[in-house]
Structure 1
Amino acid sequence: MRAGDLRHRIVIQHHVEQQDSATGEVTMEWEAYATVWAAVEPLSARDLIAAQAGQSEASGRITIRYRPGVLSTMRILHRGQIFNIIGQPLPDKASGLEYLTLVVATGVKDG
């Protein structure tokens, strides 16, 4: 992959607990973990369950420079759209320390 392919700005978000100082209520909120350059590649739409569902899931692949700590529990924001990370981030084949590939699906991830 060439550095010029990483031309999309994305925000990686993670869940954080926040406590209201007045009520003491603890809530989970999404917070920016990192803002990085990425290659965002949409894949063709695919059926969720071949003949049994009338829905399809739009999915894609996002490649970023290697960054430790990126987990499947996080999500991606790109151009106002939310992408859920599906499965574990995949390291590059050469060294495992240059790029991470994130398989993603569109939609809201509550936790």
Structure 2
Amino acid sequence: MSAGKYRHQIRLQVQTETTGPLGPQPATWTDWEPEPGQGADIPAEVVPLSGRDFIAAGEKQSEVSARIEIRWLPGVLDTMRVLFDGQVYAIAAVLPDPTARRHLTLMVSAGVTDGR
């Protein structure tokens, strides 16, 4: 079976908060597995949409936005983040397939929020 449209590999991560003996610990990001034991790599199509540079708070910053399409997976939320090609993307929106449960479109951005 060829990779076809979903030729990229992404990872979805979920923020986890733990409480230790001294109280709440800093939140950490852990890989999300669609099904236990299946692994965290998810086939996807990643399409860069735009990029821009700007100055905020006296520093030069950049932002990249992209569209990521994956096969339908229940449980994907906009509170997660995406790892792709060494870059962290914050999920701005999770858009379902309007006609059937065949795919999800993730609208993402990287740079300013660093996936938070």
Normalised to the residue count of structure 2, the TM-score between the two structures is 0.74
Render the CA deviation track for 1:65-92: whole Å, top value 9, x for unaligned: 11111111110001110011012x1111
Is 1:100 paired with 2:89? no
Query: For structure 1, which runs of at least 5 residues remain unmatched after alignment?
Result: 49-53
| Displacement of 1:20 | 3.6
Closer, same or farther: CA 109–45 of 1 in aligned 2, 3 Å: closer
Identity over the aligned pairs, expressed in percent? 43
Residue equivalent to 1:90: 95
Residue equivalent to 2:16: 16
Question: What does 1:10-89 align with in structure 2 at a 5 Å threshold?
Answer: 10-20=10-20, 23-34=22-33, 35=40, 36-45=42-51, 57-87=63-93, 89=94
Cα distance in 1 between the residues matched to 2:87 and 2:63: 14
The answer (yes or no) to whether the contact 2:91–2:115 under 8 Å persists in 1 is: no
Q: Which amino acid aligns with 2:50?
A: S
Normalised to the residue count of structure 1, the TM-score between the two structures is 0.77
Q: Which amino acid aligns with 2:96?
A: P
Query: For structure 2, which runs of at least 5 residues remain unmatched after alignment?
Result: 34-39, 55-59
CA root-mean-square deviation: 2.4
